[in-house]
């Protein structure tokens, strides 16, 4: 099967990552993943606001995902909506196990993910960029979180759906893996697949995450050397 953009079923879109792109954030990264263009900025560890969210045994982690009005085909109303709140929440869950939050009690780490252009797979691209921004901020990590989705299009299981495929798609499974421990920190699915198809899609997504991990390491080496 050839895909609409000519990729093989196990082929990722072109991905470019750059670490340390924003001067005023404590850590930052930019990712171009196919036609997705996303910035991630990290602030902290800093004072917790509002204060009642402070924990005396670890840092409070907050991820905010937002899309610019011009990031999607039909102009998006600025400001949070249900989808962006949900993505912020699952992103927090995907990244929290990677961070040594216990090192920073009574403080807060804030991650902002801003989508400039969206073309499906933004939560995975955002998580991948946010991980680089955390490292850039000098926050101690257990490993890197690498994310990638696989899904079902035209009755075929394929890696990394682009928007055109997402529109026709029958299912999509975003996945995030924490390196070193190899724990899965995000697993979602929308659509319908058989048990075998889920297994095949997970296999593809795991391989995709491994390639993403290599690219993250390369981006960090480019910034900081070996
Ligand atoms: O981006 P991701 O695949 O993680 O999330 P999704 O909720 O499955 O959205 C898939 C795609 O739909 C996004 O990446 C955008 O390209 C598009 N979208 C849109 O066109 N308008 C919106 N208001 C939200 C998403």
Is residue 73 within 6 Å of ligand 1 at its C-beta?
yes
pLDDT of residue 1 exceeding 70: no
Write the DSSP symbol of residue 70.
G
At residue 11, the pLDDT reads 98
Encode 94-146 in three state secondary structure: HHHHHECHHHCCCCEEEEEEEEEECCCCHHHHHHHHHHHHHHHCCCCECCCEE
CA of 14 to the centre of ligand 1 (A): 18
> What distance lies between CA 161 and its chain's CA centroid?
14
**Range 35-40 average pLDDT:** 98
CA of 119 to the centre of ligand 1 (A): 7
- Would you kindly state where each structural domain of the chain is located, as residue ranges? 15-221
**Percentage of residues in the chain having pLDDT higher than 70:** 100
Q: pLDDT by residue (tens digit) across 111-128? A: 999 999 999 999 999 999
Is residue 118 within 6 Å of ligand 1 at its C-beta?
yes
5 CB-side CA count, 13 A:
20
Q: Are 176 and 184 in contact (CB under 8 A)?
A: yes
At residue 217, the pLDDT reads 98
Closest atom of ligand 1 to 161 CA is 3
> What distance lies between CA 133 and its chain's CA centroid?
11
Q: pLDDT by residue (tens digit) across 85-108? A: 999 999 999 999 999 999 999 999
Residue 100 is encoded by which pair of tokens? 């040594």
Q: pLDDT by residue (tens digit) across 174-206? A: 999 999 999 999 999 999 999 999 999 999 999
> What distance lies between CA 144 and its chain's CA centroid?
11
Paired strand residues for 37: 32, 117
pTM of the model: 0.98
Give SS3 for 210. Answer: helix
Closest atom of ligand 1 to 166 CA is 10
Ligand 1 pocket: which of 75, 94, 122, 167 to mutate (most atoms within 8 A of CB): 122
Is residue 83 within 6 Å of ligand 1 at its C-beta?
yes
Domain 15-221 is of which CATH architecture? 2-Layer Sandwich (3.30)
Is residue 119 within 6 Å of ligand 1 at its C-beta?
yes
């Amino acid at each position: 099967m050839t895909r609409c953009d000519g990729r093989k079923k196990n082929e990722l879109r072109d991905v470019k990552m750059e670490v340390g792109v924003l001067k005023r954030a404590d850590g930052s990264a930019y990712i171009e993943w196919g036609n997705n263009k996303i910035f991630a900025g990290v602030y902290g560890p800093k004072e917790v606001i509002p204060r009642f969210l402070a924990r005396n045994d670890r840092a409070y982690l907050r991820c905010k995902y937002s899309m610019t009005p011009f990031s999607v085909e039909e102009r998006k109303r600025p400001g949070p909506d249900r989808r962006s709140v949900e993505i912020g929440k699952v992103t927090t869950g995907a990244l929290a196990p990677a961070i040594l939050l216990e090192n920073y009690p009574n403080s807060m780490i804030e991650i902002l993910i801003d989508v400039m252009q969206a073309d499906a797979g933004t939560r995975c691209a955002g998580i991948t960029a946010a991980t680089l921004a955390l490292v850039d901020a000098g926050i101690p990590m257990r490993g890197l979180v690498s994310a990638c989705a696989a899904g079902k299009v035209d009755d075929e299981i394929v890696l990394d759906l682009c928007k055109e495929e997402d529109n026709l798609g029958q299912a999509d499974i975003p996945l995030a893996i924490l390196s070193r421990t190899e724990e899965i920190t995000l697993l979602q699915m929308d659509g319908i697949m058989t048990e075998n198809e889920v297994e095949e899609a997970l296999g593809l997504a795991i391989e995709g995450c491994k390639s993403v991990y290599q690219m993250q390491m390369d981006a960090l080496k480019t910034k900081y050397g070996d």
